[in-house]
Amino acid sequence: MTLSAIAEGRRWNRASDLLWDHWHSGRRLEELPSDVRPQTRGEGYAIQSRLESRSRGPLFGWKIAATSVAGQKHINVDGPLAGRLLREKVFASGAELPFGANHMKVAEAEFAFRLGRDLPPRSEPYSVDEVLAAVETLHPAIEIPDSRYDDFTLVGGPQLIADNACAHLFVLGDAAPACWRDVDLVEHRVTGTVAGGAVHEGKGANVLGDPRVALAWLANELSGLAITLAANQVVTTGTCLVPLPIAAGSRVVMDFGAFGKVTAQLGA
């Protein structure tokens, strides 16, 4: 390894240390200091990759942020972003989640896919059909995102990627019936409520036009980074309805119809 590569690695370690400390202390920063601030998506992913060595278990899976044009405009990026799901941040449906110093204060309803076999890096892009053939199960899911920045809409894509694409907590529901493969996920209706409030409705078309397309995007994003999307990992593909405001003590229910419900209780 060259001296420049060693120096760069130290920079990314410092950036990761800062983001990790803010994540777990509930503090915010305006942006990363200029000497450790990523300028490209690749540099952002290099910082993000350091999270895995801090986790207490093997990587649980991946998330996709900014899967709608509106979402991309809101955070001033020009495409989706990938983040890591850390095992200790994942809960089963019905669990009580710590609310803590959550800054974003929203819950998202998402289609999640569990892989049945590896999709290793390769020179040619994976097609949607190839990626779906590697899927074992579909699950309803809830993501509770958060950011370590004061205003995550201002820092840009590389810094958001470094910040794990706003990953925080994740709730995985039971596997849907196998007939999901015969259902048009684009038009599949999903509803969400928080604390018995108004029912909000969305559908799969809100996720890059189709959650299956979003899944293929993730496989190809990782392939371009020389990362294998591994068997048994879960990919959650982005919110299919408007993020719902939450507070400490909220109960969240996301109903995916024939695919089942997923719920979460936010601690007081």
- The answer for residues whose C-beta is within 8 angstroms of residue 48's C-beta and 6 or more apart is 16, 83, 84, 161, 162, 163, 164, 165
Question: Which residues are bridge partners to 142 per DSSP?
Answer: 109, 171
Q: Is 54 left (phi over 0), alpha (psi -120 to 50) or beta?
A: alpha
Rounded mean pLDDT, 136-153: 97
Q: What is the pLDDT of residue 237?
A: 98
Tell me the CATH number of domain 3-266, given options 3.90.1150.10, 3.40.50.740, 3.90.850.10, 3.40.1190.20.
3.90.850.10
Once rounded to an integer, what is the mean pLDDT over residues 115-121? 98
Residue 127's pLDDT band (cuts 50, 70, 90)? very high
pLDDT at 192: 98
Round the average pLDDT of the chain to a whole number and report it: 96
How confident is the model over 11-20, as a mean pLDDT? Answer: 97
Domain residue extents for the chain: 3-266
For the entire predicted model, the pTM comes to: 0.96
pLDDT at 213 > cutoff 90: yes
- C-alpha 188/C-alpha 235 separation (Å) is 18
CA-based nearest residue to 29, from 157, 143, 163, 161: 163
DSSP 3-state of 15: helix
Q: State pLDDT tens for residues 43-90.
A: 999 999 999 999 988 999 999 999 987 788 888 898 999 999 999 999
Q: Give the pLDDT confidence score for residue 69 in this predicted structure.
A: 79
**What pLDDT, on a 0 to 100 scale, did the predictor assign at position 73?**
84
